Structures are given as C-alpha cells and as structure tokens.
Amino acid sequence: MKILVINAGSSSLKYQLIAMETEQVIAKGTCERIGIPGGNLTHKANGKTFVVEQEMASHTDAISLVLAELVDKEAGVISSMDEIDAVGHRVVASGEAFTKTTLVDDEVMKTMDEIAELAPLHNPAAILGINACREVMPEKKMALVFDTSFHATMPDYAYLYAIDYDDYKKYKVRKYGAHGTSHKYVAGEAARYLGKKPEELKIITCHLGNGSSISAVDGGKCIDTSMGFTPLAGVPMGTRSGDIDVAAIDFLCKKKGMTMEEGLVYLNKQCGMKGISGVSSDFRDLTAARDAGNYRAALALKMFTYSCKRYVGSYMAALGGLDCIVFTAGIGENTPHIRKAIAGGLEAFGVVIDDEKNNCKNDGTIHDIAADTSRVRVLVIPTNEELVIARETAALL
Ligand code: ADP
C-alpha cells in the first residue's frame, strides 16, 4: 500500500509518498511559490534531487505537477496514479468538530470551512490542498489527520480557560494544543524504545522547533499541553511571544497604535527569540551570537530554557511522577546545550543528564542521554509527523 502525505501551506506544499509495508519514503518534495512568480518544485526520489522551475497559479497546479513528477520516466517512482492507495492531509486545527482522523466527503469539507477561522494562518491553506487533490484525483480516498487530535484526551479542567462557561459553550474558546501528531509519534517511540507499554509510562514530550510545545502524556494519553486556543501560547518561540498577560497586549496595542489584529501579527511574527535578541529567530544564529558575547541573544535563550523547564516541572506535578522526558524537532534533536539547560539541575526529581551522551549527533536514531543512575530516562527522538499521517490514513482505510 502506498500513501501520499500532503502538508499544504498558503504558498507552499510538501509531500511524501510512503510505502506502508516498509514505512519507507519513496519520494518526497516541496512546491514553493504557489501563486507567486518564480514557482518551483524540488523532488527527491531514486537517490537524486530534481528541480522543476514552473509557475503554479494554484494548489491544483501544484498537485498536478507533483503527480506528473511521481509518474515521470526519470524522476518517477510509480507507473501510474492507480498505485497511490490514498492521500493523507495534515490539518492544524480541528476545534471540537473532529477528534480523530476523518475520511473526506462533502459534509466534512463543509465543517472544515466552518472551522477555518480557528487557525486562520494554517487551515485555509490545508483546505486549498485538500480541494486541489479532490479536483485532480476525485476517485481517491483521502483522510484528514489533525494536529489537535492527540490533545483531545485532555480533561476539561486542563483545557478550559476560566472565562464565562457559557461563552466557552457558545464559542468553543478553550485550549486545543498543536503538534499533536509529533507528540503522539515520539511518545509511542519512547515506549517502544524502553520496551514498555504506553499505558505504563508517564512522559513529557518537548517538541522544540520554530514553534515549540510541551505535552504531558499519561499512559499514552495527552493530559495537558503548553499551546492553547492557537499556537501562540506556551513557551516563547522563534517569533512568537508564548504566554503573556492579555492586559499587556491591550496596553501595547494602544501605545503602538495597533489594532488587536495587528497586535496578534506582532505577537506571532515579531516577538519571541527574534524580539528579545534582535538577532534572529533561529537557534543556531542565537547560539553563535551568545557565544560571541551578545547579551540579548543569551537572554533570549535563557528565557526559552527557563520557560521550558517550568513547563517540565509543572507537568511532573500534573502527572504525579515521571518516567521519561523526550526531546524532538529541530532544536530538541540538534541542540545539546538547550537540552542540558532544560533537563539539567533536576537531579532532585530523578533526572540526571550524562554530558557525554547529550553531545550525541543527530543520526536519525534514538539516543538516551540520561546517566545510568538517572531514574528518569531522557530520550532524543527524531520526529516523523508524515509517517503518523500515513499510518493513520492506512488504518482508516
Ligand atoms: P519548524 O518545523 O517548526 O519550522 P524545526 O523543527 O525545523 O522548525 O526547527 C527549527 C529550529 O531548529 C531552528 O531554530 C534551528 O536553528 C534549530 N536547529 C538547530 N540545529 C539544527 C539543525 N542541525 N538542523 C535544523 N535545525 C536546527
């Protein structure tokens, strides 16, 4: 069975074709600059990289180009589209409308349109990608895999904001979380690596990338997570502020002459590591600047790791114990000094990092960076959201 995984952005579209028998990626690539002059497709297959310079006026053009590449004589990996058994789409937010992977039909797409406002930066783009696939491959079965599904098991006292309960009921304003596909994958991999059943473990998963979120996973189920109604909440991120007193936002908007809408763009794009450091949102740049003596870069990194540590500590309490901490995504997989700053100094809680093990290279495998004496295991696990999407799509079929 072969599953095509699609992750559509507003002007880009990433894809992977995965053979489910071996769970190997047989082709993958990215369409960039959809609807913008200078469009191109980078396609990796058969051990080679192919670049196609071609304008794509719409997501439909992009999908058509991807399919042409997949069956191409040289760059292709299948003889016809019939070899694709189904398509799995990544969707960022589901609200309360969907709590699990769902097969696409007209009714589902109607609901998708209704909930698009929940993730205005992401969901409308996913809808473009899904509609494009339905247009180009009308006969294919398609599944929607939601980033929020894994968080659907949070108890009400964890996901509710203390607002008027009637307003929650009416407007569905509450915590939904994000990155659920990644948290689910690494929590499952941790259990497999430790030779335990997910039900036996209390795990804190730290997905640290451009966007970062931390989840508490009890017996395989998410019980709390740091992101909120949108991915703006939680720890400070590359360009997002993370948690902030809303009264400060109102104050800032008035002072800077911004509307609330502009204020939210500011908090999403101009704050976080970029805003504090004035250097960059990228942790490699921040680390280099800090090492060169830049105070604000050092401050930004300290604020990030301090905030992550506070979440880890609070989730240990929420879980009532801890067996394992997992680090994943761009920063979590590649940056020993960040892992050390977050999980170091927690010896009183049974967490002991081994500095030598922590300096492991990201080689695509799982590393346990805890000392032998550590009661809590600390794992670095490369995430694989596309594989989860493919697995869920295959399971639904
Ligand atoms: P996202 O998928 O949310 O865009 P990533 O998970 O790719 O983000 O994480 C990007 C972050 O990871 C950047 O801040 C980057 O500096 C950091 N990072 C550190 N080392 C590496 C590395 N070797 N490769 C990629 N990203 C890295």
334 CA distance to ligand 1 centroid (A)? 8
Q: What is the pLDDT of residues 273-295, one digit of tens each?
A: 999 999 999 999 999 999 999 99
Q: What is the pLDDT of residues 179-233, one digit of tens each?
A: 999 999 999 999 999 999 999 999 999 999 999 999 999 999 999 999 999 999 9
Q: What percent of the chain has pLDDT over 90?
A: 97
CA–CA separation, 205 and 172 (whole Å)? 26
| Residue 15 Cβ < 6 Å to ligand 1 | no
CA–CA separation, 20 and 387 (whole Å)? 9
Residue 10 confidence (pLDDT): 87
Token pair recorded at residue 392:
């869920």
Catalytic residue numbers read 147
* Contact criterion met (CB below 8 Å) for 385 and 185: yes
Residue 229 confidence (pLDDT): 94
- Ligand 1: which atom is nearest the Cα of residue 362? 23
Residue 92 buriedness (CB in 10 A; 0-12 / 13-18 / 19+)? buried
Can you give the C-alpha Rg of the chain in angstroms?
21
336 CA distance to ligand 1 centroid (A)? 13
Residue 160 confidence (pLDDT): 98
pTM above 0.75, yes or no: yes
DSSP β-bridge partners for residue 52: 41
| Residue 289 Cβ < 6 Å to ligand 1 | no
Residue 120 confidence (pLDDT): 81
CATH numbers and ranges of domains, the chain: 2-146 (3.30.420.40), 195-380 (3.30.420.40)
Find all residues with CB under 8 Å of 302, minimum gap 6, and list them: 341
Residue 260 confidence (pLDDT): 94
- Half-sphere exposure of residue 367, counting CA atoms within 13 Å on the CB side? 23
Q: What is the pLDDT of residues 130-140, one digit of tens each?
A: 999 999 999 99
CA distances from 331 to 134, 276, 290, 384, 396 (A): 35, 18, 16, 15, 32
| Residue 185 Cβ < 6 Å to ligand 1 | no
Q: What is the pLDDT of residues 43-74, one digit of tens each?
A: 999 999 999 999 999 999 999 999 999 999 99
210 CA distance to ligand 1 centroid (A)? 6
| Residue 211 Cβ < 6 Å to ligand 1 | yes
CA–CA separation, 394 and 385 (whole Å)? 14
Binned at pLDDT 50, 70 and 90, residue 88 comes out as very high
Token pair recorded at residue 129:
């990608």
Residue 63 buriedness (CB in 10 A; 0-12 / 13-18 / 19+)? buried
CA–CA separation, 325 and 358 (whole Å)? 13
284 CA distance to ligand 1 centroid (A)? 8
